[in-house]
Amino acid sequence: MHYGFICCVPILVLLVGGFATKRITEMLIVSTMIGSVIIYKAGFFGEYINLIYGALSNSSYQFILILLIGIGSLTALWEKSGSLSGFRDKLGKWMTTPRRSILITWLLTFVMFIDDYLVLLAIPSSIKKLTDRAGVPREHLAYTLNAMGASICILIPCTSWSAFTIHEIEKVGMSFRDYVHAIPYMMFPFFSVLVSFLLAAGILPKTGRIKQAYTRVQNGGPALPPSEEKGASVVGTEKAEDEDVPSVPLFNFFIPLIMLIAVTILFDRSITHGIIAALLCMLVMYKLQKLITVADFFNTIFESIKQIAAIAFVILFAFIIAAENELMGFAPYIINTFTRFITPQLLPLVVFIIMTIVSFAMGDGWSLMLISMPIFIPMAREMGVSTLAALGATLSGLNIGVVCCLQSDALFMTYAGTGVPNITQIKSGLPYVLLAGGLTALSYLLIGFI
């Protein structure tokens, strides 16, 4: 069945309702119910239950659950053992001003490059006390982490993002070498990294919500956004942290991290293998040093799982609406609408714009690769356009959409790490995302005519 413009209704309800009410979770659930009614008519209730089961059995959702549990457990164990305290003590000597603090945050994203969830969860857990003390508002911290998270995972060809992408492009005749050669065409990730650096360094002026946030903090206000903005979601993230955990040597932080990265790369960029290896490494190291008992080790993991339960629940409904969009043909509808009169010169730009719109609406970057790669790579090949440019434009569109999408898992993870609600993140980072996006669009326009 062809739904036409009707397939856009659930997403429009989510976007308009989300910004109007500042209640993302509730509007996400309402939007999924509307989608079920559109697809299944009178039988929507029973089929809605099936959609829930389908989302729970979705391998991508299961992978996200593993990452949430795994990275949440790593972070909690670092905190419980005193490893984060030791790391903070060292960083605290340098993070004494807002500029230094946010620049160090920017640099730390390269240390945690292996997966964007590690960037979005582990880094703020390590340093948000320091950035708060130095006068950095959480809005700027959230923007820096979100802008860098997926971007560096796309630009570095040995991460979870690149592993999934390489697996998909191999189905359309490309390879790991092609991915590496396409990196210069991945314009939005590059500009996102650049813009976030220029803002952190003070070269790019603060504007909009971030400027207001700095004024709030400088006038003695809290680093977190005001309480009325925290109503943007039912997901609670701020918890009391143990101030009495003594610091331990830095190797207790870095050896598990190195184990995580090394095993991930060794097992064909599988971060699941890396997480399990890092947890086992922690168990042995911390037990031998009597930093924690075996009982404390597992209790800490169970407590961290409680903390991510609400986030996992919300992301479940993001997967449901993504499944409904797929059933209604949302992505093919947008793609067909925009590609009817495309020329070879405009292909990179149009691919970027289409993928930006679709990923902004759907928020599920990896699932969209399954749809987009078999369309745009062969299309570029047939039209005589560089497949490397088409690949770069596709990933750039996915990147910018995920950074700005209300129901994106990346925004929820940033919320979990920093306490900044999704809507506040979008409003704070929008001027800089638009700047990077505008430079990206101009670049693809030039690439098309060269």
**For residue 389, which of 178, 164, 156 has the smallest C-alpha distance?**
178
Question: How is residue 143 written in tokens?
Answer: 């923007």
Rounded-to-integer distance, Cα 302 and Cα 300, Å: 5
Q: What is the pLDDT of residues 180-234, one digit of tens each?
A: 999 999 999 999 999 999 999 999 999 999 999 999 999 999 999 875 444 444 4
Query: What's the pLDDT band for 240 if we cut at 50, 70, 90?
Result: very low
pLDDT of residue 230: 43
pLDDT in tens, 326-357: 899 887 887 777 777 788 899 999 999 988 98
103 touches 130 (CB < 8 A): no
Q: What span, in angstroms and rounded, lies between the C-alpha atoms of 173 and 115? A: 26
Six-digit token pair at 162? 């690149």
| Mean model confidence pLDDT for the chain | 88
Q: What is the pLDDT of residues 294-317, one digit of tens each?
A: 999 999 999 989 878 888 888 888
Distance CA 334, CA 143 (A): 28
- Please, which residues have CB within 8 angstroms of residue 329's CB and are 6 or more apart in sequence? 2, 3, 7
| CA gap 123, 181 in Å, rounded | 30
Query: What's the pLDDT tens digit per position in 126-177?
Result: 899 999 999 999 999 999 999 999 999 999 988 878 888 888 898 889 999 9
CA-closest candidate to residue 434, choices 230, 152, 143, 165? 143
Cα-atom radius of gyration of the chain, to the nearest Å? 22
Tell if the pTM clears 0.75, that is, is over it: yes
